[in-house]
């Protein structure tokens, strides 16, 4: 191989490298999310174990077992905050959901790790979940508009919204302080 060809080959490899790296985008840290959910004065966290009937219910809602056995949540004055993970296509999306009196008050993507479909992180999309509740058959009572090219991420967020609403009701988050 001539020297010139070798140089071109090397240049192609060097130029190619940056596009092969996929980095996670952190939109909000857990602490920032919890602070925001409770206006800067968050309560002590509680824990819910995903076992028995609760584990089965969450499995039915997600279509598979949740990746962890225990979940930490924060509850104050009928408002609860949940940090949940669900795989969109290949990597987990971390989502923060605030539920108040069985309605979603806000849903935000905290960390997005996939290399496609990041549009689900925009408030224009996540604001669709505001005011959404569960129907008696445990599905969302409002339609969430999809995003072309981000179908799996949209479904993942919808599943997590359903799980957060279910867990809020199941945890009995009332006027704790």
Partner 1 sequence: MNRRKRRISTIRRLHRSLGAAAAVFILFMVISGMVINHSNGLGLDQRHVSQAFLLNWYGLGAPEHIRGFPVGDDWIIFAGSQLFLNDRQVSTVANGIGAVFNNHMLIAASNDELLLLDSSGQLIERQPWGPPEAGPIESIGLLADGTVVVKSTGQLWLADAELLGWQPAKETISELAWSTSKPAPQPLLQNITQQYRGEGLSVERLLLDFHSGRIFGPLGVFIYDLLALAVGFLSISGLVLWVRGKRNGKGNNGDR
Give the one residue of 10, 25, 59, 67 binding partner 1; rule: CB under 8 A.
67
Instruction: Give every CB contact of residue 127 below 8 A, 6+ residues apart in sequence.
Output: none
Q: Which residues from 14-43 bind partner 1, rule CB under 8 A?
A: 15-20, 29-31
Contact status: 54 vs partner 1 (CB under 8 A): no
The two beta strands, 103-112 and 25-26, are antiparallel
Tokens found for residue 176 = 């704790």
Instruction: Give every CB contact of residue 149 below 8 A, 6+ residues apart in sequence.
Output: 116, 117, 119
CB of 150 to partner 1, least distance (A): 15
Instruction: Return d(Cα 151, Cα 156) in angstroms, integer.
Output: 9
CB of 74 to partner 1, least distance (A): 12
Give the one residue of 6, 9, 25, 45 binding partner 1; rule: CB under 8 A.
45
Number of residues that bind partner 1 (CB under 8 A): 23
Strand partners for 47: 72
Give the one residue of 6, 68, 101, 142 binding partner 1; rule: CB under 8 A.
68
Contact status: 52 vs partner 1 (CB under 8 A): no
Give the one residue of 76, 81, 82, 85 binding partner 1; rule: CB under 8 A.
85
Instruction: Return d(Cα 173, Cα 84) in angstroms, integer.
Output: 17
Give the one residue of 36, 55, 72, 105 binding partner 1; rule: CB under 8 A.
72
The answer to whether the CB of 72 falls within 8 A of the CB of 83 is yes
DSSP string, 7-39: HHHHHHHHHHGGGG----EESS-HHHHHHHHTT
Contact status: 47 vs partner 1 (CB under 8 A): yes
Give the one residue of 1, 12, 23, 124 binding partner 1; rule: CB under 8 A.
12
Report in angstroms the alpha-carbon separations of 129 from 46, 63, 144: 24, 20, 7
Contact map string, positions 111 to 150, toward partner 1, x by CB under 8 A: ----------------------------------------
Residues that bind partner 1 (CB under 8 A): 12-13, 15-20, 29-31, 44-45, 47, 67-72, 85, 89-90
């Amino acid at each position: 191989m001539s020297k010139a060809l070798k140089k071109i080959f090397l240049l192609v490899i060097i130029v190619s490298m940056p596009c092969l790296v996929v980095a996670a985008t952190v939109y909000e840290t857990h602490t920032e999310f919890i602070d925001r959910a409770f206006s800067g004065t968050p309560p002590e966290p509680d824990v819910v174990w995903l076992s028995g009937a609760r584990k089965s219910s969450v499995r039915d809602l997600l279509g598979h077992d949740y990746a962890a056995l225990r979940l930490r949540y924060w509850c104050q004055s009928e408002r609860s905050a949940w940090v949940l993970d669900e795989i969109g296509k290949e990597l987990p999306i971390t989502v923060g959901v605030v539920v108040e009196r069985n309605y979603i008050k806000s849903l935000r993507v905290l960390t997005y790790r996939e290399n496609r479909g990041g549009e689900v992180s925009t408030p224009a999309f996540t604001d669709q979940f505001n005011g959404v509740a569960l129907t008696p058959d445990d599905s969302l009572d409002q339609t969430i508009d999809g995003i072309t090219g981000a179908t799996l991420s949209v479904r993942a967020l919808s599943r997590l919204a359903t799980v957060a609403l279910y867990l809020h009701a199941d945890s009995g988050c009332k006027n704790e302080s």
